[in-house]
């Protein structure tokens, strides 16, 4: 396999679109997600359309040490990963004290722990080759607090910070790290997170346009890409100067299900 991209959360949404983009550039793929039927369908589609090689690994990345299982799979296939796309993620809606703790811990496991572990396992390959690219799907949520999604926003803040930190550490090793920070995206996330009635997703971007912007930024080695223009302005020029309580109230109102 050549120019291999490993994509987590590849069965739908942004991950699926990233797979199409990479395959269209004649890159081979390792696709990881829970849904075997969707992964196998995507594998067939990509191989037929782009004449690339695609490996599939069905795995629940919310399980502790699932990242090690993914790594052992690529080792067994003698696959060198040139591009790592940590895209799998989970959200959840509601007041923190009213939500099941197990669901919050699953979110932390997937959004933070598995992402960190998989990155740590694959980086030595890249360092040895002195080449590689990492694209971490974060969110504009990572730049602000998020009442009604307090844990989700906090996990994305970790991804934004972690991505920047390791990017600096790796800058002289031929490896770039990019944090993809979209606003609301039409991926089915809102339904899975229990937010179908929230006004937050009324003007959401498509998974395709978000993936294209993220992939292009990764190719250029950009550190952060905020794909929503209005949110980019707010994050860079408005939020840093706004009173904290006002920001919290505004985000709460935006997310509240009517």
| DSSP string computed for 18-77 | HHHHHHHTT--EEEEES-HHHHHHHHHHHHHHH---EEEEE--TTSTTHHHHHHHHHHHT
Q: Is 231 helix (H, G, I), strand (E, B) or coil?
A: helix
User: From the candidates 50, 93, 152, 215, which is the catalytic residue?
Assistant: 152
Q: CA angle, 18 as apex, 13 and 19 as ends, to 5°?
A: 100
Spatial CA neighbour of 12 closest among 206, 242, 171: 206
Sign of CA dihedral 38, 41, 46, 47: positive
Q: Please confirm, yes or no, whether 152 is among the known catalytic residues.
A: yes
Active site residues: 152
């Amino acid at each position: 396999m050549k120019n291999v991209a490993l994509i987590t959360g590849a069965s739908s949404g942004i991950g699926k679109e990233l797979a199409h983009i990479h395959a269209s550039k004649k890159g081979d793929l390792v696709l990881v997600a829970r849904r075997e039927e969707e992964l196998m369908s995507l594998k067939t589609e990509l191989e037929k359309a782009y004449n690339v090689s695609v490996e599939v690994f069905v795995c629940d990345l919310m399980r502790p040490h699932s990242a090690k299982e993914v790594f052992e799979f690529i080792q067994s296939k003698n696959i060198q990963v040139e591009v790592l796309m940590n895209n799998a993620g989970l959200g959840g809606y509601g007041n923190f004290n009213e939500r099941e703790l197990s669901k919050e811990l699953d979110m932390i496991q997937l959004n933070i722990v598995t992402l960190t572990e998989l990155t740590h396992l694959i980086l030595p390959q890249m360092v040895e080759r002195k080449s590689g690219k990492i694209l971490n799907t974060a969110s504009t949520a990572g730049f602000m607090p998020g009442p009604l999604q307090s844990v989700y926003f906090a996990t994305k803040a970790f991804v934004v910070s972690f991505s920047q930190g390791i990017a600096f550490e790796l800058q002289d090793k031929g490896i770039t790290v990019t944090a993809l920070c979209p606003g609301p995206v039409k991926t089915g996330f809102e339904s899975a997170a229990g937010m179908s009635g929230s006004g937050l997703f009324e003007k959401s971007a498509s998974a395709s346009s978000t993936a294209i912007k993220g992939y292009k930024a990764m190719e250029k080695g950009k550190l952060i890409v905020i794909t929503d223009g209005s949110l980019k302005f707010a994050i860079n020029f408005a939020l840093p100067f706004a009173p904290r309580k006002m920001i919290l109230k505004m985000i709460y109102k935006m997310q509240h299900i009517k």
